Structure 1
Amino acid sequence: MTTIDRTARERVERASRPGRRRHPARPAWDEEPSVAGKTAKAVTLVVICLAVVLPLYTILLTSLSTQAAITRAGGLVLVPGELTLDAYRQVLAGGIVTRAVLVSVGITTVGTALSMVVSVLGAYGLSRSGSLGHRAILFTVLITMFFGAGIIPTYLLVSSLNLINSYWSLILPTAVSAFNVLLLRSAFMNLDQQILDSARIDGAGDWRILTRIVLPMTKAVTSVIALFYAVGYWNAFFQATLYINDSDKQPLQVVLRAMVLQGQTVPGQVEVGAGQVSSLAIQMAVVVIAIVPVLLVYPWVQKHFTSGVLIGAVKG
């Protein structure tokens, strides 16, 4: 056997050994993951899931626990004991929390609908290169992404419009997000122009093209943008602390902040000293009520989340 044949045979044997890469020239990210790599990924995913699920589990269990169980646990409950719905009954007994939930639901519904209408119409207009004032309006929208007026000028504007202590003060100042408009615009521009031209030749106007062709073809990105707006309205509390002075008009997040951070009790409900429900259970019940709507809506939009953001992404 010649030296060349022996060398070639040794290379084949080394390449066929277990644990060695068959293609040394292949990049590391193209190689099959090793057992250690798979184990590390699995452990990392388990740790991340526990970091997300364990606090939610603790909050839910504490809200369902009796005062005796919370006292034995010394605070948040990790092991199930006596369970009761008394905290939820007191919170939802028609007091301030129930009213705050209705306010948040109304603001989220009206605000999301208004924001989507304005954002879709604006994005569709900006996606048509020949539209009136296309470049000037687009430049103005881009400026608002990097420069803001600030809290004091915004408050003076809201006050001059007589919106203080009005629900509209929680909707109109944040009705349009320039980032969301640009995402929608990019998604509309990525559509096949021939389809839109064919509809226009058949006699369809801009309104019919938008509602019958553009929106159905971009439902992934529009669903994601609607989720962005809805979560933003539902979780907003800073605007309410600035513009809402009437406690009866405060949304749920303001009530939650007052109860959890400032330790306020629910007006009109049973005090802790009465031995009925722990204040910690009531606080955790309000936290659960604030979290549940987002958890219920997100699974319906999650399938569109990745594709919607990628479709609406600005391609370089």
Structure 2
Amino acid sequence: MSSLGHALRRPAAIIGFSLLFLQLVLIVFAPVLSPYSPVDADPLAALQPPSPIHWFGTDITGMDVLSRVIYATRINLLISVVSVAIAFLIGVPVGLLIGFYRGLPSGLAMRLFDFIQAFPIFVLGMALVAVMGQEIWNVAIVLAVLFIPIFARLIRAEVLSLRERPFVAAARCAGANDAEIMFRHLLPNALMPAMVQVSISIGMAILLTAGLSFIGAGVRMPVPEWGLMVSSGAQQMILGVWWVSLFPGLAIVISVLCFALLGDVLRDMLDPTKVSNPSRRQAVANDPVTAGETK
């Protein structure tokens, strides 16, 4: 059985991909699956408990909770995926450059990353959103700024460990220039931690997006967003109105769990020392570099 087939048969992979498929269905078919508009208020139907008419109940403005949870999947995943994609596309090349070239520019970049990461990530995100404005794309840009140092440091650490390997010296002796060595030899071998971090960072971005909206620093009403829905329902929890916060809270848990499981599966799939194919296992054992690292 191949490494891919073995990884996909794991319970974590089955659960992770099932939850991901569920979210994709909600994103694509939200207009079909939502029984009501996610932004139309009906004061006469305010705070109705779950029933056959409103499966997840209604909030204080009379908006259907189920419809808002479904549409919020689009908003939360859009912000999370876009922010992590931007951070990946910027952080990976930057990390490659500052890991390959040493000197003042590399040192300045690292000090900038130290400055960004010196602040609590939630507090810094709240401050940046307050400066830029509470819009969906502004939240995505702010999260991207917070995640760029993570990807840059991961790639830099891998490049620093790879740049002195014999295959780099062999490529240079064969006439390869710096660009060829970085992008053809170093980058493919340094990408694995960053690719695994993508899935983990999406889950972190979902939590940050929901947290910012919960305290009023993220997107604004009436945009359907999980954290904003939890915040609006938290005020009625003491009165026994539990459904307004419970269902978007469960959506956050399920979505973060999904990407956490997918991150573990992706890590095992990309790790050359965790293979189930006998021929590949033998190839890893015969590779002196990999075998040495495994030991």
TM (normalized to structure 1)? 0.51
Matches within 5 A, 1:241-280: 241-244=215-218, 246-259=220-233, 261-263=234-236
Q: What one-letter code is carried by the residue in structure 1 that aligns with 2:156?
A: R
User: How much has 1:256 moved relative to structure 2?
Assistant: 3.6
Q: Which amino acid aligns with 2:155?
A: L
Task: Work out which of the residue numbers 265, 268, 274 in structure 2 matches 1:300.
Answer: 265
> Secondary structure, in 3 states, of the residue corresponding to 2:195?
helix
Structure 1 contact 187–218 (Cα < 8 Å) conserved: yes
Q: Which consecutive residues of structure 1, in runs of 5 or more, have no partner in the other structure?
A: 1-83, 265-271, 273-277, 309-316
Conserved 8 A contact 1:127-1:186: yes
Which amino acid is 1:126 matched to? I
**C-alpha separation between the residues in 2 aligned to 1:137 and 1:112?**
20
Show CA shifts across 1:212-260 (max 9, x none).
433331343112321332111111123334434532435323324444x
Q: Which residue of 2 aligns with 1:110?
A: 82
Task: Report the 3-state secondary structure (helix = DSSP H, G, I; strand = E; otherwise coil) of the residue aligned with 1:95.
Answer: helix
1:148 and 1:291 mapped to 2: Cα distance? Answer: 20
Question: Could you list the per-position Cα deviations for residues 11-50 of structure 1 after superposition, in whole angstroms to 9, with x for gaps in the alignment?
Answer: xxxxxxxxxxxxxxxxxxxxxxxxxxxxxxxxxxxxxxxx
Asked if 1:189 is matched to 2:160, the reply is yes
- Residue ranges of structure 2 left out of the alignment (5+ in a row): 1-51, 274-295
Provide closer, same or farther for how the CA distance between residues 135 and 99 of structure 1 changes in structure 2, counting only shifts above 3 A: same
* Separation in 2, partners of 1:149, 1:290: 20
Quote the Cα distance in structure 2 between the aligned partners of 1:250 and 1:169: 16
CA–CA distance in 2 between the matches of 1:280 and 1:168?
A: 25
Q: How does 1:209-228 map to 2 (within 5 A)?
A: 209-228=181-200
SS of the aligned residue for 1:122 comes to helix
Q: Give the residue type in structure 1 aligned to 2:221.
A: S
Cα offset, 1:191, TM superposition: 1.0
Give CA-to-partner distance per residue, 1:118-151, whole Å, 9 cap, x none: 2112211110234662222223323433357995
- Cα 1:279–1:251 shift into 2, 3 Å: closer
Does the C-alpha gap of structure 1 residues 200 and 258 become closer, same or farther in structure 2, counting only changes over 3 Å? farther
Q: What is the deviation of 1:105? A: 1.0
Query: By how many angstroms is 1:197 displaced?
Result: 4.6
Higher relative contact order (CA 8 A, sep 6+): 1
Distance 2:182 2:106 in 1: 18
Whichever structure has more helix as a proportion of its residues is: 2
| 1:4-83 matched pairs, under 5 angstroms | none
The residue number in structure 2 matching 1:64 is none
Q: What per-residue deviation string (whole Å, max 9, x for no partner) do you get for residues 82-114 of structure 1?
A: xx9x84799999722122110011111111111
CA distance in 2, matches of 1:229, 1:249: 23
Name the SS for the 2:112 alignment partner.
helix
- Do the aligned residues in 2 keep the contact of 1:256 with 1:287 (CA within 8 Å)? no
Letter in 2 for 1:164: G
Q: Which residue of 1 aligns with 2:101?
A: 129
* Structure 2 residue 68 is the aligned partner of structure 1 residue 96: yes
Cα distance in 2 between the residues matched to 1:283 and 1:256: 6
Write the distance in 2 (CA, Å) between the matches of 1:283 and 1:147.
Answer: 29
- Identity over aligned pairs, percent: 14
Alignment partner, residue 166 of structure 1: 135
Cα distance change of structure 1 residues 306 and 185 upon mapping to structure 2, 3 Å threshold: same
Q: For 2:121 and 2:253, locate their aligned partners in 1 and report how far apart those are by CA, in whole Å.
A: 35
- Correspondence for 1:238: 211
Closer/same/farther in 2, CA of residues 109 and 174 from structure 1, 3 Å limit: closer
219-228 vs 97-106, greater mean Cα deviation: 219-228
Please tell me the residue identity of whatever aligns with 2:140: I
Rg larger for: 1
CA distance in 1, matches of 2:253, 2:153: 34
TM-score (norm 2): 0.54
Residue of structure 1 equivalent to 2:20: none
Instruction: Classify the secondary structure of the residue corresponding to 1:243.
Output: coil
Q: How many correspondences in the alignment?
A: 210
Aligned-partner residue type, residue 170 of structure 1: V
Whether contact under 8 Å (1:220, 1:305) holds in the other structure is yes
